[in-house]
Structure 1
């Protein structure tokens, strides 16, 4: 049996918590000590609170006057309500709390039935009962009660490196499962953002959200954890990080972000993802191939089905990486285009002609008169310019004729006119024409 003792200042909160279990038919009041009990199994929260307050002297200065105890037998142990009642009374007696006012509740919200005890820790003289050595005393009392009632020895579950991480089971102790999963994920995986952290948590039906605000003029920054089903719907009340443990706190997670930056090597994951992507025929095939390589991928979609986020969880290297961290080709936009718009992907298919085509080099211009014109631009006369222009027009017409004849042969090479200049193109002539146009714009006239 495992017994947990917590102390606090919210007596009404503890009574309300247990009262809600009764109202939802997931618990009942077994017995009380110095507190009114009508024997119906239900409880009047307001009256119970007033009864407790009568036992607290007005002179008491104890800031945390109450304690909340849970007794948790092994799941295989089967106890009747009578057994639970006797067990709780004996526990309080052995711990030295027999004279304190307390209430005993049985919770049946999970398969492992257990007992909660709400009690005062302030005596009639206003002094707080000492909790010195309570840890060792508590453990000793549990061992004695296990022997007396024939219970199995139940120690707190210890986290080991080889312990498998499982999805949250709605029929089990959800808080304990969430706490264990969060602790194991933090111990084993490396991540750098809240998105990457949530991606690995989602594999086990858990979601984490940041809570920032201000209370009484003071800022707070915390985390809240949710247990979900396979569809991502919340199945239980959220848990503040403080209820799970320091390992789940905002400070602890932010610290893991910083430490992971120097430890993550994306190369092994990138190579495997690239190989799977090159061989895949679609998103489902891509996901299956990654799974075979020990990598889970989490896609995030809009309502229209567009991929707006992708994260890879490599269980081999224990790293969690957003797609863009691996490279642009693995980003959400790139994978959305590949899987949702395959028709937009570029192709390199080039049609091959049925018959071979022989392409001859065009005749080069050997007109020495044209060369002399380009070399003596400054001494050109207006008549020379007119003759040169007429010659160029004659060559252009000839080229047009030859191109037309080539087209009529029944086959043209795509892009021939762009990448293979015809006979009308002469670099020297083009340069000559451009320079003459510039001179004309400046108002210069050719010298005679």
Structure 2
């Protein structure tokens, strides 16, 4: 089980989000906690008014809404309403919300079973509930206990499955209408915005792009950019924007530029030693071998770290961004230290065959004209997937040394000059 906790300024907006899902047939309210009646006997106004009245007990709390999602492994099949409510009750008790009013919704809009819990962080006495590090401490303890008590598939040991619990958006499967696009983007934003530790818009986009979503401020002379606006767009398989751009203010949690700037500051302060796991993983790869860039990227991917290359117009790599799906940290190579920058990584990595061929074709490596032509042919064949083992064997034979032994024919040997001894005449 994976638990995600988010707080916000408007409990009404979160409540309406879940009720809209119910109206669309994508969710169902399955229960409540600490309400005077069962959920099926409560009107929408009674549901939200109890939460609002409790928030009014402490007007100093600005971010009083609490929105929790409990996500289960796709193979979990025996999660009926009774079991889900028992899990929700156990979790709320575990994080110190046993006396709080809350509503539980089961959602059907993703590939894995999950529930949403709506509550507030003002207690019955009017005291504010401290949620500092609640995800790392109380929530983690509650999660482990629930997995054991309810015989759930454990989250530990399967980090990569957890982090990619939602699938990247497929532009071909999403209609270009605003409603469909908004629904798809909203799922990605719900997962990414409060999960990963990004510290700038490019770092956020490094994560969002993995799910085929981009946050876009527009061009510098555009009205959106000048007004401090932000839109979210879907990317196609080539990384190009497609479909209808959606204003950040149109989403229920309002992930505007102002909201993101606060997240940038919070995430910067969260960890004084950013990317420690990333640095250790990279060093471990170089200790065992001297990989190519592609091999390094693959080795890191196996450890749950995505290495994103930033390319200049001429195709060269000018920057690297690392996304750690286990620690949830997003770091540029330069902020990790000089040895993890794009320049250092490229220098320490060996060139792959395809890179060598491209360098020869571009003239970075000089060769006699016939050999360069041969490599150009090889590059064209590889780009069109026509480079077969038979052609590879032919090229190897063409480059095979005529005299494989360590000695050369006497005619080709360079004549060794006699060393002239100091103070002696050759006569």
Q: Which TM bucket (shorter chain)?
A: 0.3 to 0.5
Which structure has more relative contact order (CA 8 Å, sep 6+)? It is 2
